[in-house]
Amino acid sequence: MAEAPTVEALLERLLERDRSAVAPALNLVDDRRTEPARAANELLDRLEAALYESDPGRRRVGLTGAPGAGKSTLLDALVRRLRSQGETVGVVAVDPSSRRTGGALLGDRVRVRSSARDDGVFFRSMAARDRLGGLAEGTRAAATVLEAVFDVVLVETVGVGQSEGDVQPLVDTLTYVAQPGAGDLLQFMKAGILELPDVFVVNKADQGAAAQRTLRELEAGLGLGASHEDGWRAPVVAVSARDGTGIDALLEALAAHHAHQAESGRRAERRRQGRDAFVRGALQHRYGSHGMAALGGEPALLARLEGDANATGFGLVQELGREIEEALAKPRPRRP
C-alpha cells in the first residue's frame, strides 16, 4: 500500500479542495488503530475549525426514509440536477451491517452514470457497523471531509425511525422520503419524530392517486404539529425520481430552507446543536454513564459545551475524553 500522507499534507490539500485527497482522508478517518485514529482526530478537528469560517454556501443535506422509498433513484436525480447547475456533490451512503457476521453489502443502488468521468461527484458508501454511536461518528467524519471539497454533501441513510435522530444533528437540512401508501408514515408518526425533517418528499408521484393520498395525509399530519421552533414550516414536495417531475421543486425547497437558516442565523445555531449532540453521543458511546458521571454529569458537560462555543466537536470529544480517562484513573477521594 502507498505511504499514508501526513495530516498536514492532507489538511492542506483538502482545504485547497483537492479531490484526490478525499479518498485517503476518508480511509484515515475510518482507521481504528491508535496512531491513525489520533491523526484522524487531529485532521477532523482542524478541518472542522477551518470549515466554521468557510463559505456558508456549502451545505449538508440528509436523505432518509424507509427501504424501498426510492431514495437511491431520487439521489441519482438530485445529483444530476445539481451537477447541471454547476454544483459539486459529495455523497455518503450508509447501509446496514449484518449483526451476525459484521459484513455488509454496499452500493446496491442506482449510481450516477456520469460519475466515472466527472470529478464533480464523489461517492462513498459506508457500513453502519455497530449502530450505537457508530453511525453518527463515522458519518459525521465522512461528511466533514467531503464538505471541505464539495459544494453539497448528501448523506443517505435507511431510516426506520431511529436513524433520523442520528442524522439530523449532522446535516443542515433533513429530508424524509416517503412512498405512496401510508404504512411507513404511520410508523413515523408513532415514533414521534415528525418534527425532525425539514423537507418531506413523497416519491413515486407517477403512481397517481396513492401518491396524492399520501401527500394529503402528510400535509394534514404536519398541520397538526407545530412548525419548527425557528418558524420554518416543513413543505411536502411530490416528486417522481423516475421521470424527473418535482426535482426542481425539491431543489427549490432545499434552497428555501437553506436561505431561511442563513437569514435567521439558524444555520450556525443548528451546527452548534449538532456538535453538542455529537459530543454527548460520542462520549456516551465510548465511556457510558459511568464516564459521564466522572466528568461531573450532564450539568458539567453543558457548562463545558457552553464555554467552548468555538471548539470543534472532534476536538471536544478528544479533550473531554482525556479528562474522563484521567478522572477514571484517579483514586477516588475518600470523604471524611
Which residue ranges make up the site for other proteins (CB under 8 A)? 1-2, 22-23, 26-27, 30-33, 36-37, 67-68, 95, 97-98, 100-108, 110-111, 113, 115-117, 122-125, 127, 129, 242
DSSP type of residue 200: E
Cβ at position 273, least distance to other proteins in Å:
29
Q: Pick the closer one to other proteins by CB: 110 or 182.
A: 110
Cβ at position 88, least distance to other proteins in Å:
14
CA distance 187 to 114: 36
Cβ at position 193, least distance to other proteins in Å:
25
Q: Pick the closer one to other proteins by CB: 18 or 95.
A: 95
Q: Pick the closer one to other proteins by CB: 30 or 219.
A: 30
Residue positions counted in the chain: 336
Q: Pick the closer one to other proteins by CB: 168 or 214.
A: 214
Residue 333 phi, psi dihedral angles, 5° rounding: -65, 135
Q: Angle CA(14)–CA(17)–CA(21) in degrees, nearest 5?
A: 45
Cβ at position 80, least distance to other proteins in Å:
11
Q: Pick the closer one to other proteins by CB: 140 or 304.
A: 140
What does the block give as the cell for 131? Answer: 449502530
What does the block give as the cell for 200? Answer: 418531506
Cβ at position 45, least distance to other proteins in Å:
19
CA-CA distances (angstroms) from residue 110 to 70, 223, 279, 308?
Answer: 10, 34, 34, 42
Cβ at position 113, least distance to other proteins in Å:
7
CA distance 166 to 159: 10
CA distance 203 to 63: 12
Q: Pick the closer one to other proteins by CB: 1 or 224.
A: 1
Sheet order of strands, 59-65 included: 121-127, 89-95, 152-158, 59-65, 173-178, 199-202, 236-238
